Amino acid sequence: MQINNLEKNIFDALYDGILIADKDCIVRYVNPSYTRITKVSIEDIVGKFLNDIRPGAQLPSVIRSGKKLLRIKRRVGDVEYIVNMAPIIEGKEIIGGISILNEINDIYKLTEELNKSNMMIKKLETHMKRMGKAKYSFDDIISGDISSLETKNLAKRIAKKGSHVLITGESGTGKELYANAIHNASNRQQGPFIAVNCATFEGNLLESELFGYEEGAFTGAKKGGKIGLFEVATGGTLFLDEISEMNYGLQAKLLRVLQEESIRRIGGLNEIPIDVRIICATNKSLEKMVEENQFRKDLYYRIAVFPINVLPLRSRREDIPLLAEKFAENITSNIHRELKLTEDVMRLLYNYDWPGNIRELKNTIEFAFNMTDEDKIRPEHLPKIIQSEGVKKELMRLKTLDEIIKEVELAEIKKAIYLYGDTVEGKRKAAEVLGISLATLYNKLK
């Protein structure tokens, strides 16, 4: 059998070792890689009978039987390698055989590199999952006030829908908490939750962050381009906090994304389909911004399919003691130290208006904890402004016991009706739980 120049050039260029023998098991060719792996020179093997040079060689049996032998482990001196052998057939006649050698050290290296790559991929996947995971559920939203319970119930119903959501409310009211909870209660909960604060990006940086870009799209663009957050969030939720800070031009591009359900990277030509639910949040009045031509009217109606208004803490005062106790509990669970809030403290917290809302309340409890070495937080441990404002409000709101009783009764009745329903059966159940007759319940409601 003859090997032409083209075949020889191809075999010579291979990294794997190649040995070819004819039907009489005479070696006709070996490539440089074969001599490198086996440490045998070409002169010592070519033209020789294979079994004389390689005692125990199995290629002769392959040539005789016409059956392949794969992954045969061999050792010559200190060198180990894996051999794959196959017959060479021309027409229906076996005219020889070929052995292909892989050095075991090379295989070990490849396996090691593959394992390293797999570990890196797993780490990246874990990082992406952690980065794109919503932290909070509705169980994390503390609600005791009737208005707070209504907001939470509305958000739960909205979560199951697929439409976009607009969450409004003052800073510190828990808008991001609601966004997390809506995602985790939705059909997209297994998908990513990507949060981006629109106010933290200047100029066109937000656009490149959201849409990504192709290589060379602009000066300073990364080699290979960059994937945008819309693509990262596909199958899940993209939370756009402080949407009011998005510039007017980018608003038009966002509107197009919501209409077409596809994006185009900066500098790119291809449309990339996306499947993303948008949750937006703002502490500003978008309606007023629409009137002042600062926010696009058409975009507003696109994102405000389901509006949720998270009330400030002063408008849901029954949440204050529950939140204060929860924050105190969180602090003590980390340090294994008991910490209670006195009734005087609770009264001051209840009467304060909390311009910073929940965030300010949390900081206040942490401040008070650091101001006391006791197992109780007393009024003097609170920030001075809360002490003085709380006392003022308490004096200004001094009421008769009759008024206080009526207010408490009404609040509990409303809460019971909210829980059991505004039906005859619901009111009957509410009256039973409150320990009064149905007739008394109707009289008090009047």
Classify residue 439: in a domain, yes or no: yes
Classify residue 284: in a domain, yes or no: yes
Judgement on whether residues 386 and 252 belong to the same structural domain of the protein? no
Per-residue confidence (pLDDT) for residue 316, from 0 to 100:
94
Classify residue 379: in a domain, yes or no: yes
Cite the DSSP H helix spans in 132-279.
146-159, 175-184, 205-211, 229-232, 248-260
Phi/psi at 204 (5° precision)? -90, 5
DSSP letters, 419-446, are HH-SSHHHHHHHHHHHTS-HHHHHHHH-
Cα–Cα distance, 136 to 237 (Å, whole number) = 14
* CATH number assigned to the domain comprising residue 152: 3.40.50.300
Number of domains in the chain: 4
Judgement on whether residues 288 and 391 belong to the same structural domain of the protein? no
Classify residue 81: in a domain, yes or no: yes
Judgement on whether residues 244 and 302 belong to the same structural domain of the protein? yes
Judgement on whether residues 192 and 341 belong to the same structural domain of the protein? no
Judgement on whether residues 150 and 295 belong to the same structural domain of the protein? yes
Angle at the Cα of 95 from the Cα atoms of 93 and 99, rounded to 5 degrees: 125
Cα–Cα distance, 264 to 266 (Å, whole number) = 6
Q: Check the CA dihedral 116-119-125-128 and report its sign.
A: negative
Task: Please give the model's pTM, rounded to 2 decimal places.
Answer: 0.62
Per-residue confidence (pLDDT) for residue 127, from 0 to 100:
47
Q: Which of 356, 378, 396 delimits the end of a domain?
A: 396
Q: Check the CA dihedral 429-433-435-436 and report its sign.
A: negative
* CATH number assigned to the domain comprising residue 29: 3.30.450.20
Classify residue 117: in a domain, yes or no: no
Angle at the Cα of 323 from the Cα atoms of 419 and 349, rounded to 5 degrees: 115
Contact 213, 268 (CB under 8 A): yes
- Name all contacts of 124-133 with Cβ < 8 Å and 24+ positions apart: 128/192, 128/232, 129/192, 132/192, 132/193, 132/194, 132/232, 132/233, 132/236, 133/192, 133/193
Residue 82's closest CA among 41, 115, 37, 36?
37
Q: Which of 266, 295, 311 delimits the end of a domain?
A: 311
Q: Is 185 helix (H, G, I), strand (E, B) or coil?
A: coil
Classify residue 199: in a domain, yes or no: yes
Cα–Cα distance, 409 to 430 (Å, whole number) = 12
Per-residue confidence (pLDDT) for residue 123, from 0 to 100:
52
| Residue-level length of the chain | 446
Q: Show pLDDT as tens, one digit a residue, over the chain (446 residues).
A: 778 888 888 899 888 899 999 999 999 999 998 888 888 888 888 999 998 888 888 899 999 999 999 888 887 777 778 899 999 998 888 999 999 988 776 555 555 656 665 665 555 455 444 456 788 999 999 998 999 999 999 999 999 988 999 999 999 999 999 999 999 999 999 999 999 999 988 767 899 889 988 877 776 677 778 888 999 999 999 999 999 999 999 999 999 999 999 999 988 888 999 999 999 999 999 999 999 999 999 999 999 999 999 999 999 999 999 999 999 998 888 777 778 899 989 989 998 999 999 999 999 999 999 898 888 899 899 998 888 876 665 554 556 777 778 878 888 888 888 788 888 888 889 889 888 988 888 888 77
Classify residue 80: in a domain, yes or no: yes
Judgement on whether residues 243 and 344 belong to the same structural domain of the protein? no
Q: Which of 396, 411, 437 delimits the end of a domain?
A: 396
Judgement on whether residues 303 and 415 belong to the same structural domain of the protein? no
Cα–Cα distance, 54 to 48 (Å, whole number) = 10
Judgement on whether residues 30 and 176 belong to the same structural domain of the protein? no
Residue entry with tokens 């311009």: 355
Phi/psi at 126 (5° precision)? -60, -45
Judgement on whether residues 281 and 352 belong to the same structural domain of the protein? no
DSSP letters, 335-404, are HT---EE-HHHHHHHHHS--TTHHHHHHHHHHHHHHT-SSSEE-GGGS-HHHHHHHHHHHHHT---HHHH
Contact 149, 318 (CB under 8 A): no
Per-residue confidence (pLDDT) for residue 122, from 0 to 100:
59
Domain enclosing residue 51, as ranges: 5-106
Classify residue 113: in a domain, yes or no: no
Judgement on whether residues 148 and 262 belong to the same structural domain of the protein? yes
Per-residue confidence (pLDDT) for residue 318, from 0 to 100:
93
Per-residue confidence (pLDDT) for residue 131, from 0 to 100:
53
Contact 347, 390 (CB under 8 A): yes
Judgement on whether residues 383 and 344 belong to the same structural domain of the protein? yes
Q: 256 vs 95, 299, 358, 433, CA distance in Å? A: 67, 9, 36, 53
- Enter the tokens of residue 351: 């009467």
Judgement on whether residues 151 and 182 belong to the same structural domain of the protein? yes
- Label residues 387-409 b or e (16+ Cβ within 10 Å = b): bebbeebeeeeeeeeeeeeeeee
